[in-house]
Amino acid sequence: MRKFQDKVVLITGGSGGIGSTAGKLFAEEGAKVMLVDIDGQTLKETVKEIGEEKASYVVADVSKEDQVKNYVEKTIEKYGKIDVFFNNAGVEGKVKPLDEYPMDEFHKVIDVNVKGAYYGLRYVFPHMKKNGGSIMITSSVAGISGTPNVLPYVTSKHAVNGMMKSAALEGAPYKIRVNTINPSPVDNRMMRSLEEGFAPGQGTNAKEGFEKMIPLGRYATNEEVAKLALFLAGPDSEFITGTINPIDGGMTA
């Protein structure tokens, strides 16, 4: 039997590189997948690629509490339960010194990365209390150390780590496991944005600069991060909860 046969997996950030890849991998392992994102067109294409018999989608802005409540309700209406919640949606924000950072952009990063993650926990938890489950929150190596000129992003990821630890303790009596996934730079859209922010117009040179900070000398792939999500969600990690899980090519060594 496949590892996630008859399981229901809810994924936010479902049109992004990590989220869409995770959706495909969970479906290959037998899961029914609900993808959530603000980008409805890409969600639709991803669901079509996975197969409509295996996946569905809800368009939502995770920074809006009512929309989070709605995507959870839609998942329950469609599939009857939530076994796995990949709380993955996030934004990187701008690259600016802290004393020049636009306040509206600061609030946007916190609203999506912190409030959005909390709203997801808030509305998924009651459903998982019945039968247990696994929750993974996408954090970052920036949630373990610091990085200049992206203070709101770093702040949000440190906050998510603390959120996870408290949620893991509250979830344990109900057999709800909660962990973070903390990637180094991943080869996807977010890093293209950050490369341009840190080194405008430099393209490949900017990427090479980031890669020099990674002992293994390259970015992570979407699939590598998604596979960690599958491990933390699955039966091989049943005694793992409350942990920060770097997947970083040695950056935090």
Q: Among the options 101, 118, 119, 153, which is catalytic? A: 153
pTM of this prediction? 0.95
pLDDT at residue 26, as a whole number = 99
Query: 243, exposed or middle or buried, with CB in 10 Å at 0-12, 13-18, 19+?
Result: middle
User: Hey, how many other C-beta atoms are within 10 angstroms of the C-beta on 250?
Assistant: 12
Question: Please, which pLDDT band fits residue 13 given cuts at 50, 70 and 90?
Answer: very high
Active-site residue 153, yes or no? yes
Over residues 143-202, the pLDDT tens digits come to 999 999 999 999 999 999 999 999 999 999 999 999 999 999 998 788 788 788 887 877
Across residues 133-143, what is the average pLDDT?
98
Beta carbons of 71 and 173 less than 8 angstroms apart: no
Alpha carbons within 13 A on the beta-carbon side of 66: 0
User: Hey, how many other C-beta atoms are within 10 angstroms of the C-beta on 105?
Assistant: 14
Domains and CATH numbers, the chain: 8-184+221-247 (3.40.50.720)
pLDDT at 253 over 80: yes
Of 8-12, 21-25, 45-49, 90-94, the one with minimum mean pLDDT is: 90-94
pLDDT at 203 over 80: no
pLDDT at residue 109, as a whole number = 98
